[in-house]
Structure formats: structure tokens, C-alpha cells
Amino acid sequence: MKRIAVMTSGGDAPGMNAAIRAVVRTALHYEIEVYGIRQAYAGLLNGDMNLMTSREVSGILQKGGTILQTARNEEFKTQQGQRKALRRLNENSIEAVIVIGGDGSLRGGMALERIGIPVVGIPASIDNDIYGTSMSIGVDTALNTILDALDRLRDTATSHNRAFLIEVMGRNCGYLSLMSGILGGAEVVITPEKVISMEDVATQMGDAYVRGKTHAIAVIAEGAPYKTNDLLEFLNNRNLGFEIRLTILGHIQRGGNPTAFDRLLSTRMGVNAVERLLEGEHNIMVGLNGRDIVPIPLEDATSKERVISEDYYRMEHILSR
């Protein structure tokens, strides 16, 4: 193999830059050229790609976002788009692609495999919804950002005897909400996976008041079965004792410098992805299993569901009282 390419795709995640750096430097170590494809599949279709040097990935290890930028693109989902992509890769003599992104991006990787391009995927998404890896790149940083916000919000909540609804990201996955609820000491956690009625949320928050708590924090996942604003209205119509405020954390959760955990994960996955490709492995994603980085078939990574351990729900129930 003489030349490979790397792209970042889907929602950006802190640690993507560290992964790009690891891919580029590992490939160059083995005397393989690396093209950086800008703006994911959109850039691939436009032929927006360049040879990367070791210097170009200097000073990016600690930076959030992605120097290659990212995009979402519908044309690549079509056969015509994929044929165009193959032409672009052939024009540039690219023999394999490393895709850094979420499950949608990895599905794009499978489309590349179907047209004959070897692919190794690296899971990166703050949602932690990808099967086959206990952690995806960006999750730890996002979780720390949420915890920082939650700690601050509790300070002001306690000072005013208020309840707060805090909406966090995660698409249809409750990982960020559940973990930030446990680690931030929330009174209530509302995830997409486990339905808890608005009535029960009101009861739990009202109970917190009766028990003498000076605040009540409810963390609600953006993918919860009801809208955060509807819950706010519902709670405002109950007499909980607390005055209620709402904070939607939004894209703040996606930015920022990656934590040590994310830098290490990105670096290990980047090195591992290139080494596996050079050993002839492809149509896989590299995943974290225990302490090891292991190969997971792309088919499994994109079709199976990552389930959150029941233990965490149990812990949350015990500790929030």
C-alpha cells in the first residue's frame, strides 16, 4: 500500500484532531502517503483532498473540532454519488480510507467497501451510541463539559432554592444524560431508553423539596420521550415548592480541548487503525474493549445497538434520593 486517505465526518467530537495526527504520523512512519479529505463525503465528491505532512498535524493534538472540517452529505448516499467518489479516489491513487466519525459516517464507510475501497473506521461521537466500543472519541470531554456546567448551575440553584431542567445532547442515546446525572448528583434523569412520566418527574422533584433539599436538578436527554419545554410547562403548573429554570447546554458540549482520556483514546485508535490496514485488515472499526483496542466488523458497529448497562440506572436510582 502506497497511499491512504483520512476524513472526519458527522458531528465533530473533541479528539478528532488527535486521531488525525496519529493516523498521519503512523502512516508516514511506515512510509505511506496520507491524503486529508476535507469536509467528509462532501469533500470526497468534490475532490477536495491534499497530501498531508507531519508538520501540518503539529500543534493540533490538544485542539477541539477538526482541522479537516466535517459535513453531512446526502449525495454520497446514492449509487451515483458513490460512483463519483470512487472516481475521485482512483484519480488520486488512494487505496484505502480511514473514516473518523459516528455510526452514519461508518455506514458511509461500508458504502466505500461495497465499491471496492478498503476502510477502517474510528468511532468518534459525543453520543457514545456506537456498538462495539465502550467509549467513542469525544464522549469523555463532552461529559466533563456537562459536569462543569452542572456544578455551576447547582451553585446558583442552591442559592435561590430553585429547580433546574438541564437538557443535554446525545441524539437517541441516554449515555450523556445518565452519566452526567449520576456524576453531577442530579435528583432526576430522563433518558430516551427508560420512560419516566412527567407526573413522576414532578413527584420526584416535589419530594426533594419536602425532604429539605435546597435545589433539584433534572437532567433531560434531548431524545427524551417529551420536549423539555413541555416538561417545563407541566412542572410550572404543579406546586413543587421550587421555582424552575431551564438551561439547554447545546453545542457547547461539542467543543473544547480533549481530555487526557480522549487524547489517549484517539491516539491509540489512530495508530491501531493504520497498523491494521497495513496488515491487510479492513471493513472494520477499531473499538475499545476493556484495555484493548480491538477490531469490530463495520456491519456490527452500524447495525447492532449499544445498550447502557442496567447497573447505571440502578445506581442513579439509589444515589439520587
Residues that bind ligand ADP (CB under 6 A): 9-11, 41, 72-73, 76-77, 101-105, 107-108, 111, 125
The correct pick among 52, 64, 94, 127 for binding ligand F6P (CB under 6 A) is: 127
Asked whether 123 and 133 are in contact (CB, 8 A), the reply is yes
Whether 127 is a known active-site residue: answer yes
Asked whether 117 and 86 are in contact (CB, 8 A), the reply is yes
Stretch that binds ligand F6P, among 21-29, 87-95, 122-130, 259-267 (CB under 6 A): 122-130
How many C-beta atoms surround the C-beta of residue 95 within 10 A?
Answer: 16
Q: Are strands 284-289 and 292-297 parallel, antiparallel or unpaired?
A: antiparallel
Q: Give the nearest residue (CB) to ligand ADP.
A: 104
Work out what residue 169 binds among ligand F6P, ligand ADP, none; the CB cut-off runs from 5 to 8 Å by kind.
ligand F6P
**Cα separation, 264 vs 312, whole angstroms:** 25
DSSP string, 33-48: EEEEETTHHHHHHHT-
Work out what residue 126 binds among ligand ADP, ligand F6P, none; the CB cut-off runs from 5 to 8 Å by kind.
ligand F6P
Closest CB to ligand F6P among residues 11, 206: 11
**Cα separation, 50 vs 150, whole angstroms:** 41
Pick the catalytic residue from 12, 48, 103, 127. Answer: 127
**Cα separation, 305 vs 16, whole angstroms:** 23
What distances in angstroms separate CA 42 from CA 38, 64, 76, 82, 198, one per listed residue? 8, 21, 7, 11, 41
Stretch that binds ligand F6P, among 32-40, 163-171, 229-237, 302-310 (CB under 6 A): 163-171
Work out what residue 104 binds among ligand F6P, ligand ADP, none; the CB cut-off runs from 5 to 8 Å by kind.
ligand ADP
Smallest distance, Å, CB 123 to ligand F6P?
A: 12
**Cα separation, 20 vs 16, whole angstroms:** 6
Closest CB to ligand ADP among residues 100, 205: 100
State the amino acid at position 276 in one-letter form: R
Work out what residue 73 binds among ligand ADP, ligand F6P, none; the CB cut-off runs from 5 to 8 Å by kind.
ligand ADP
Closest CB to ligand ADP among residues 111, 153: 111
Interface characters, 204-243, with ligand F6P (x: CB under 6 A): ------------------x---------------------
**Cα separation, 165 vs 296, whole angstroms:** 37
Nearest residue to 220 via CA among 207, 209, 208, 204: 204
The correct pick among 15, 64, 81, 102 for binding ligand F6P (CB under 6 A) is: 102
Stretch that binds ligand F6P, among 23-31, 125-133, 144-152, 312-320 (CB under 6 A): 125-133
**Cα separation, 287 vs 270, whole angstroms:** 11
Region of residue 241 (left: phi > 0; alpha: psi -120 to 50; beta: else) = left
Asked whether 120 and 282 are in contact (CB, 8 A), the reply is yes
Closest CB to ligand ADP among residues 101, 287: 101
Work out what residue 23 binds among ligand F6P, ligand ADP, none; the CB cut-off runs from 5 to 8 Å by kind.
none
Q: Indicate whether 169 belongs to the interface with ligand F6P (CB under 6 A).
A: yes
Stretch that binds ligand F6P, among 25-33, 37-45, 165-173, 202-210 (CB under 6 A): 165-173
Interface residues toward ligand F6P, by CB under 6 A: 11, 102, 125-127, 169-171, 222, 254
The catalytic residues are 127
